[in-house]
Amino acid sequence: EESGAGRRPERERERERPAEEGPAERGPGAAFHMFVVMEDLLDKLKLLSYEEEVLRRHNMRPLSRHYFALATKPGEQFFMFCTLAAWLISRAGRPFEQPQEDDDPNAVISSVLSELRSF
């Protein structure tokens, strides 16, 4: 077992694995990894007060613990993702216009990616 100083978190090692690997090749817990990542994301959003700054301002419901882990309502999930991305970009000190539900999805994601590349 490696000591704590030279040890990399499991999340970093996970990102380095080839994309073709299925859950069976990565171990028995790999199929549930996306749920753990979503729970971590939600914890971080709560630390940033997303409930007050995003949900109340846009009259949205709180995210469930597994909201982005399963594709249940892709259109709604995409809009929530874009809303959160715009808010996080603004929190980072960059002016960024909040997307609207009827905006062209390709234009919205292009704007988000363009802004992220300029960081």
Last residue of a domain, one of 50, 69, 88: 69
User: Is residue 16 domain-shared with residue 60, that is, in the same domain?
Assistant: yes
The CA distance from 25 to 40, in Å, is 24
At 66-115, the pLDDT tens digits run 999 999 999 999 999 999 999 999 999 999 999 999 999 999 999 999 99
Domain that holds residue 91: 71-119
Q: Are residues 77 and 58 in the same domain?
A: no
Burial of 96 (0-12, 13-18, 19+ CB in 10 A): middle
Closest by CA to 27, choosing from 14, 9, 41, is 14
Tokens 């846009």, residue located: 58
Q: What is the DSSP letter of 2?
A: -
Please write the tens of the pLDDT for every residue from 3-36.
Answer: 445 555 555 555 555 555 555 577 778 889 999 9
Give pTM, 2 decimals: 0.74
Count: domains in the chain? 2
